[in-house]
Amino acid sequence: MRNFVNKRAASLQPSGIRKFFDIVSKMEGAISLGVGEPDFVTPWNIRDKAIRSLQRGYTQYTGNRGLPELCSLISRYIKERFGVEYPPENTIVTVGASEAIDLALRAVCDVGDEILIPEPSYVSYAPAVTLAGGAPVPVICSAENKFILTPERLESAITPKTKALILAYPNNPTGAIMTKAQLEAIIPVIEKHDLLVISDEIYAELTYTGTHVSIASLGDMRGRTVLINGFSKAFAMTGWRVGFVCAPPEIDAAMLKIHQYTILCAPQTGQRAAVCALKEGLADGFSTVEDMRAEYNRRGRFLVNAFNSLGLDCFQPEGAFYVFPSVEKTGMNGESFANELLRRYKVAVVPGSAFGAAGEKHVRCSYATSMRNLTAAIERISDFTEEIKSRI
Amino acid sequence: MDRLEKDILALIAEDSRLTAKKIAAMLAAEEKLVAEKISALEKSGIIVKYTAILNTDSIEEESVEALIEVKVTPQRGHGFDMIAGEIAAHDEVKNLYLMSGAYDLAVIVQGKSLRSVSRFVSEKISTYDTVISTATHFILKKYKVEGAVMYKAGVPERISIQP
C-alpha cells in the first residue's frame, strides 16, 4: 500500500508541547504552569442562557455568518470597547479564533506568498500559513525591546514576495502589548509595501496598563486589516469554540465562501452563549471580565516579582496571562531548564523554543492558575535555582 | 477606607497567610505601607482574627454541630444585646447572629456528641429567663464553609499543557 499522507501535512512539525504534555499527564503531584486557558469557568448566567436555548430546541444550523443578533452585537462590542468599526455584514462568527486565523490565511495566501510572523509566536501561525500554501517568515523580536515589533525589524524582513503580517498583541507567549505609538510607528512600513495585517487580538480584554489598542482603529488601517478576536479568554469560553473575524469586504467575502464549504456555521449553542456574554457585558460595563482581569493582574505581579528575585529576568507582562522569563543566568537553555524542572521538581513550564528560535533561552509560565499553585510552584522553582547556583 | 485597604482585606480574607511582602507584590504597593495598613486594620478591630477553615469530617475525633433557632424577649434598654452576649460567652457557641423573620437568634454550637449538644441547649440556653423557645437542627454535612468548598465533587480537569 502506498503512503497516502500528502507532503504538506507530512512536513508539519508536531507541536513541541506534545512531549511535555505526555510526561506531565502521567506525573503525580505536578503543578502545571503550562496551561493556555483561563482557570475560571464560564460565568453562570452565560451557561444558563445556553442551557435554556438547548431546552427550547435551538439546535439547528445557523446562517453561515452566524446569528444576525450576534454579528450586530460583535460590531457594537468592538466599536464600544476598542473604537474599531466593522459592520455586521463584514463579520463572520467562527469556530474559535483558531478558525478565523485559518480562514484569513486560506483566503489570502497564494503559493510562494511570504507571511511575516513576529517571534516568539503562538504555535499555530506558521503551520497555518504552510497549510494555506504560503511561506511563513519569522521576524525576531527581542527581549530588550519587550518583544514588540519595531519598524526596523519589520522593514528588514520584507521582500517583494511579502503579502501579509500577522500581529498578535497582547501576545502569547510573551505577555507583550503594543501601544498606540508603537503601532503607529509600523503603519508607514505596512502601507509603503502594501501589506495586509492579520491581527489576532484574542487577549484584548486582558491588558493591565491601559485599554488595548487595535491597529484597525488607527489611520486608514481598517481597509487593510483582518481583525480576529473571540470569546475564549475574555469570557472563559474556550471549550465552546466561538470566535469572530471582521475584514474589508473582498476578504470577508472570500473567507465566507471557505467557511460555508468547510464549517457551514459555528455551533448554535456557543453563539447563543456569546450573545448573552455581549448583551450582559454591554449592559454592565463588562464587570465579570473586569474582576477576572484584576485577579490575573495580581497574580502576574506576584509572579514577575518572584522570578526577578530568583534571578530569572522577566519584564512585567502588560497583557494575556503569561510571563516569559529568561533562564540565561542559570547557564541552561529553556528546554533543558524546563525538562529538569519537571523531572526533579514537578513543575511544568513550557520551553520558549516551542514558540520559535527567538524563545530559546526562555520559558513560558502561565498564571491562569490559583495563587496557591503559583506560590507552591515558585517555592519549587526557587529550590531548583538555588541548587543550580550551588553547582556553578 | 481607601482602595488599598479594601484590596488588602479582600486578599487576607481569601488567604490569611499571605505576607505583607506578597500582598505588596500583588497590589504593586510598598511593602512597608502594606504592613502598616495591616497593623492598623488589626488594631482597629476590622481584622478580628486569623484562622483556618478545617474539614471536620476528615478529622478522626467526632464532633457534632447544630444550628439552634432561639426566640427571646428583648429587654427594655438592652434590646437583644444582653442575652446575645451571655449566650455568646459559652465556648461551645461558635457563631451567633441576630436574625430577621420567624426567630431571633441563630446559634451554632459545637460539641463532642449529639447528647452533649442537646444537654447544652436544654441546660445552658433554654434556662435563660428571656429565652422563649429553642429549635435545634443538627448539621449533617458541610458542603461549603466561608467560601471554601469541602467536597471536590466532579470539578472538571484542565488539560495540563496547552499552546
What CATH number does residue B114 fall under? Answer: 3.30.70.920
Are A136 and A199 found together in one domain? Answer: yes
Ramachandran quadrant class, B109 (left: phi over 0; alpha: psi -120 to 50; beta: rest)? beta
Q: Is A298 on the interface with B (CB under 8 A)?
A: yes
Tell me whether residue B12 is in a domain. yes
Predicted local confidence at residue B101, as pLDDT: 94
Tell me whether residue B159 is in a domain. no
Are A240 and A173 found together in one domain? Answer: yes
Mind listing the pLDDT tens digit for each residue in A154-203?
999 999 999 999 999 999 999 999 999 999 999 999 999 999 999 999 99
| Claim: this prediction has a pTM higher than 0.90 | no
Predicted local confidence at residue B154, as pLDDT: 66
Whether the pLDDT of residue A252 is over 80: the answer is yes
Are A163 and A309 found together in one domain? Answer: no
Distance CA A319, CA A354 (A): 20
Are B37 and B77 found together in one domain? Answer: no
Q: How far is A381 from chain B (nearest CA, A)?
A: 16
Q: Is A301 on the interface with B (CB under 8 A)?
A: yes
Which residues on chain A are in Cβ contact (under 8 Å) with B162? 17, 34-37
Are B36 and B76 found together in one domain? Answer: no
Coil, strand or helix at B20 = helix
Q: Tell me if B95 sits within 8 A of B107, measured CB to CB.
A: yes
Q: Last residue of some domain: A234, A254, A284?
A: A284
Domain count for chain A, please give it.
2
Q: How far is B2 from chain A (nearest CA, A)?
A: 17
Tell me whether residue B162 is in a domain. no
Which residues on chain B are in Cβ contact (under 8 Å) with A21? 159-161
Q: Tell whether ipTM is more than 0.85.
A: no
Q: Last residue of some domain: A284, A304, A320?
A: A284
Please indicate whether, in this complex, the C-beta atoms of B25 and A306 are within 8 angstroms of each other.
yes
Q: Using alpha carbons, select from A47, A62, A51, A32 the residue that is nearest to residue A231.
A: A47
Which residues on chain B are in Cβ contact (under 8 Å) with A36? 162-163
Q: Tell me if A86 sits within 8 A of A75, measured CB to CB.
A: yes
Please indicate whether, in this complex, the C-beta atoms of A299 and B26 are within 8 angstroms of each other.
yes
Are B72 and B31 found together in one domain? Answer: no
Q: Is A350 on the interface with B (CB under 8 A)?
A: yes
Are A230 and A293 found together in one domain? Answer: no
Q: Which domain holds residue B9?
A: 3-43
Coil, strand or helix at B104 = coil
Strand B148-149 versus strand B144-145 pairing type: antiparallel
Whether the pLDDT of residue A18 is over 90: the answer is no
Tally Cβ neighbours within 10 Å of residue B27: 20
Are A299 and A377 found together in one domain? Answer: yes
- Where residue A127 sits, what CATH number does that domain have? 3.40.640.10
Sheet architecture: strand order including B105-111: B93-98, B105-111, B64-72, B131-138
Please indicate whether, in this complex, the C-beta atoms of B163 and A35 are within 8 angstroms of each other.
no
Q: Is A376 on the interface with B (CB under 8 A)?
A: no
Q: Tell me if A34 sits within 8 A of A324, measured CB to CB.
A: no
Whether the pLDDT of residue A392 is over 80: the answer is no
pLDDT averaged over consecutive 10-residue blocks of chain B (163 residues)?
93 93 90 96 96 85 92 85 93 96 96 94 93 94 90 76 84
Q: Please, what's the b/e burial string for A22-31 (b: 16 or more CB within 10 A of its CB; e: otherwise)?
A: eebeeeeebb
Which amino acid, B82?
Answer: M
Please indicate whether, in this complex, the C-beta atoms of A123 and B163 are within 8 angstroms of each other.
yes
Tell me whether residue B154 is in a domain. no
Quote the cell numbers at residue A127.
Answer: 503551520
Identify the DSSP state of A149: P
Tell me whether residue B157 is in a domain. no
Distance CA A72, CA A63 (A): 14
Are A30 and A51 found together in one domain? Answer: no
Q: Is the peptide bond before A317 cis (omega within 30 degrees of 0)?
A: no
Are A212 and A274 found together in one domain? Answer: yes
Whether the pLDDT of residue A89 is over 90: the answer is yes
Q: Is A47 on the interface with B (CB under 8 A)?
A: no
Tally Cβ neighbours within 10 Å of residue A243: 26
Whose cell is 526562555? That residue is A362
Q: How far is B107 from chain A (nearest CA, A)?
A: 32
> In chain A, positions 163-182, which contact chain B (CB-CB < 8 Å)?
172
Give the CA distances from residue A112 to residues A11, A100, A197, in Å, rounded to whole numbers and listed in that order. Answer: 16, 21, 18
Q: Using alpha carbons, select from A128, A171, A110, A144 the residue that is nearest to residue A15.
A: A128
Please indicate whether, in this complex, the C-beta atoms of B25 and A20 are within 8 angstroms of each other.
no
Q: Using alpha carbons, select from B104, B122, B120 the residue that is nearest to residue B112.
A: B120
Contacts of A379 by beta carbon, 8 Å cutoff, 6+ apart: none
Distance CA B41, CA B46 (A): 5
Tell me whether residue A368 is in a domain. yes
- Among chain B residues, CA nearest to A304: B25
Domain count for chain B, please give it.
2
Helices (H) and strands (E) in chain A, counts: 13, 12
Please indicate whether, in this complex, the C-beta atoms of B25 and A17 are within 8 angstroms of each other.
no
Mind listing the pLDDT tens digit for each residue in A286-310?
999 999 999 999 999 999 999 999 9
Tell me whether residue B155 is in a domain. no
Please indicate whether, in this complex, the C-beta atoms of B163 and A354 are within 8 angstroms of each other.
yes
Distance of CA B44 to the CA centre of its chain: 19
Closest CB to A32 among B28, B161, B163: B161
Q: Residue A115 is inside which H or E element, if any?
A: strand A114-119
Please indicate whether, in this complex, the C-beta atoms of A35 and B161 are within 8 angstroms of each other.
yes
Whose cell is 458542603? That residue is B143
Q: Is the peptide bond before A351 cis (omega within 30 degrees of 0)?
A: no
Distance CA A297, CA A317 (A): 9
Mean pLDDT of A233-245: 96
Coil, strand or helix at A366 = strand
Please indicate whether, in this complex, the C-beta atoms of B160 and A32 are within 8 angstroms of each other.
yes
Please indicate whether, in this complex, the C-beta atoms of B25 and A371 are within 8 angstroms of each other.
no
> In chain A, positions 112-151, which contact chain B (CB-CB < 8 Å)?
122-124
Distance CA A332, CA B113 (A): 60
Q: How far is B26 from chain A (nearest CA, A)?
A: 4
Closest CB to A298 among B27, B156, B162: B27
Tell me whether residue B104 is in a domain. yes
Distance of CA A123 to the CA centre of its chain: 9
Tell me whether residue B48 is in a domain. no
Q: Tell me if A31 sits within 8 A of A380, measured CB to CB.
A: yes
Closest CB to B160 among A35, A306, A375: A35
Please indicate whether, in this complex, the C-beta atoms of A17 and B162 are within 8 angstroms of each other.
yes
Closest CB to B15 among A30, A41, A371: A371
Q: Using alpha carbons, select from A359, A368, A277, A387 the residue that is nearest to residue A31.
A: A368
Mind listing the pLDDT tens digit for each residue in A45-80?
999 999 999 999 999 999 999 999 999 999 999 999
Which residues on chain A are in Cβ contact (under 8 Å) with B26? 298-299, 301-302
Are A268 and A182 found together in one domain? Answer: yes
Q: Which domain holds residue A366?
A: 7-42+288-391
Mind listing the pLDDT tens digit for each residue in A112-140?
999 999 999 999 999 999 999 999 999 99
